[in-house]
Amino acid sequence: MHQVPGTADLWVALPMAHASVIGVGGATARLEVLDEIIGGAAEGRCRRIVVVEGRVELPGLRAQRRTAGEIARDLPDTVLLDVGTGVALVRLRAERIVLTDDDGVTDIDPEDLATSGPDPFSDLEGHWLAHLNDPRCQVVPRMALRVCRCLPAERPLLVGIDRAGVDIEIVGRDGRIHREQLPFAEACVGVTELGTQLRLLAGGSRYPLDRAALRP
């Protein structure tokens, strides 16, 4: 799956047999995307589900191969080598986007997806989660004190990091997992800014005394 730059449309790779049922005028389609945690103690756990509904179109074979080459420059994937043989590249024109997470169900305007751009830390998130969730690192427990007066018996887990803040999971006295969002004071665009905001959430100063403490 690959977002078409500047739009809410998505390129999706499908088995050729499945794509063959798409007619000249396209077909209605529904795509479910699972956002799973990569890295750290919670790896593999689903954080949220995104459902995209709209119409799917099947371009000509030459257009598919040209698009596969363009995508491969940014996102190399062996699946793209099979486009035109065992795999078809179809275009899903999003008409409705629904996000489901711990906060409930939210409708996302396709225009918001078109203009949002990728999160600057998506490729590094797994490394940060693995580092900060290490039992030797005390940053996450300090963050947890922002949402609970005393730390629970089970160590809190950091399960998400993006430009706007972090997601943290805490096991309550009732044994249930509670997920809390801790926003940054300022949105981040670089690693230096991210380190600063993480220190502030952990009750530290804007400038580090130990530069290695928050480095993945």
Placement of tokens 């996000």 in the chain: 99
d(CA 121, CA 189): 8
Residue 211 has pLDDT above 70, yes or no: no
Render pLDDT for 192-203 as a digit per residue (tens, 0 to 9): 999 999 999 998
Query: What burial class does residue 89 get, using C-beta atoms within 10 Å of its C-beta: 0-12 exposed, 13-18 middle, 19+ buried?
Result: buried
CA-nearest of 34, 77, 49, 194 to 127 is 194
pLDDT grade for 172, boundaries at 50, 70 and 90: confident
pLDDT grade for 209, boundaries at 50, 70 and 90: low
**Which CATH architecture group holds 125-201?**
Alpha-Beta Barrel (3.20)
Dihedral sign computed on CA atoms, order 100, 105, 107, 112: negative
- Higher per-residue confidence, 213 vs 104: 104
The half-sphere exposure of 65 on its side-chain side, counting CA atoms within 13 A, is 7
Render pLDDT for 1-60 as a digit per residue (tens, 0 to 9): 999 988 999 999 999 999 999 998 899 999 999 999 887 778 888 999 999 999 999 999
Do the domains at 2-116 and 125-201 have one common CATH topology?
Answer: no
Task: Confirm whether pTM is higher than 0.85.
Answer: no
User: What is the CB neighbour count within 10 angstroms for residue 44?
Assistant: 7
Where in the chain are the domains? 2-116, 125-201
* Strand (E) or helix (H) holding 157: strand 157-161
Render pLDDT for 56-99 as a digit per residue (tens, 0 to 9): 999 999 999 999 999 999 889 999 999 999 999 999 999 999 99
Rounded average pLDDT over 120-146: 92
Residue 214 has pLDDT above 70, yes or no: no
Four-point Cα dihedral 107, 190, 128, 144, nearest 10: -70
Superfamily of domain 2-116: Electron Transport, Fmn-binding Protein; Chain A (2.30.110.10)
- Higher per-residue confidence, 40 vs 160: 160
pLDDT grade for 207, boundaries at 50, 70 and 90: low
Four-point Cα dihedral 135, 140, 145, 149, nearest 10: -40
